[in-house]
Amino acid sequence: MALKTVVDTLDGFEEAIKALYAQMDDKFVLQVEGVNEHPEVINLKTAYERTKADRDTARQERDAAKALTKELPEDFDAEKWAKLKDGKPDEAALVKLRQTLEAERDDWKGKFTAAQETARRNALDRDLTDALTTAGVTNAMYAKAARGLLADSVKVSDDGKAYVETDMGPVNLTEHVKRWASSEGKDFVTQPSGGGSKGGSGSGPQKKWGELSSSEKVSLHRSNPEEYERIKAAG
């Protein structure tokens, strides 16, 4: 005799059989080990997984159809489209449909380009300024000049992060500016001032303004702004 999985009472069962049941609420449930390996349970699980997969596929197809419907022009004609599929094209309708889709494509392309440029400007206004400050370019005049030198190379990724394309591949903007400030842009970096900084006067003969090179002017302005202004005024 097969044992029932769930019974209302254990009255009339032998003690050995009663031991196989456990009470749950007002029922008695047969305790079975390895129930998931039972052939009928396996068949049910397989059928459930197949049904679940079919349901997910149907949902994906539904969502794809909805997305496609949203992209169709308002004057889309299903009958004309059916004729096209059947190999009976309506030339005028085909031309009109193509023009409509191309116009929408160009419109979205324009919006995308504008959005990219806006993101790039934001990166210049925010990220490039922050990167220069982090690299030590804090003098307003030098920062402006540095921005002019670096701005054209700044790009923005799809996730909104600023970067620069180099020979070694894309580099984070902050890291690129740091490298630049330690090499060709080192004259733009504001050096620390204080007791250890070099003064412009009292350290030997001073050149006249016209005798100073551009690099020397930048260096003097950075190390001793007062001396820089004095020599500049003296001519």
The answer to whether position 226 is within a domain reads: yes
The answer to whether position 71 is within a domain reads: no
Q: Which residues contact 216 (CB under 8 A, 6 or more apart)?
A: 207
Q: What is the pLDDT of residues 99-138, one digit of tens each?
A: 888 888 888 887 777 776 776 676 667 788 888 888 888 8
Domain final position from 60, 90, 115: 115
Mean pLDDT, residues 200-207 taken together:
48
* Number of structural domains the chain divides into: 4
The answer to whether position 130 is within a domain reads: yes
Is the per-residue pLDDT at 184 higher than 80? yes
Apex 120 CA angle, 160 and 148, nearest 5: 135
pLDDT > 90: what percent of the chain?
5
The answer to whether position 70 is within a domain reads: no
User: Which pLDDT belongs to residue 130?
Assistant: 87
Confidence label for 198 from pLDDT (cuts 50, 70 and 90): very low
Strands 162-166 and 154-156: what pairing? Answer: antiparallel
- Distance of alpha carbon 200 from alpha carbon 217, whole angstroms: 11
Residue ranges making up the domain that contains 27:
1-35
User: Which pLDDT belongs to residue 28?
Assistant: 92
Do residue 29 and residue 6 come from a single domain? yes
The answer to whether position 82 is within a domain reads: yes
Is the per-residue pLDDT at 196 higher than 60? no
Range 9-43 burial, b when 16+ CB lie within 10 A, else e: eeeeeeeeeeeebeeeeeebeeeeeeeeeeeeeee
Domain final position from 94, 115, 136: 115
User: Which pLDDT belongs to residue 201?
Assistant: 41
Domain final position from 68, 99, 115: 115
Do residue 184 and residue 158 come from a single domain? yes
Is the per-residue pLDDT at 34 higher than 70? yes
Do residue 140 and residue 177 come from a single domain? yes
On average, the pLDDT of the chain sits at: 78
Do residue 130 and residue 111 come from a single domain? no
Q: Which of 19-23, 67-71, 80-84 has the highest mean pLDDT?
A: 19-23
Mean pLDDT, residues 141-152 taken together:
86
Do residue 140 and residue 174 come from a single domain? yes
The answer to whether position 175 is within a domain reads: yes
Q: Which residue has the higher pLDDT, 77 or 166?
A: 166
Do residue 123 and residue 106 come from a single domain? no
The answer to whether position 163 is within a domain reads: yes
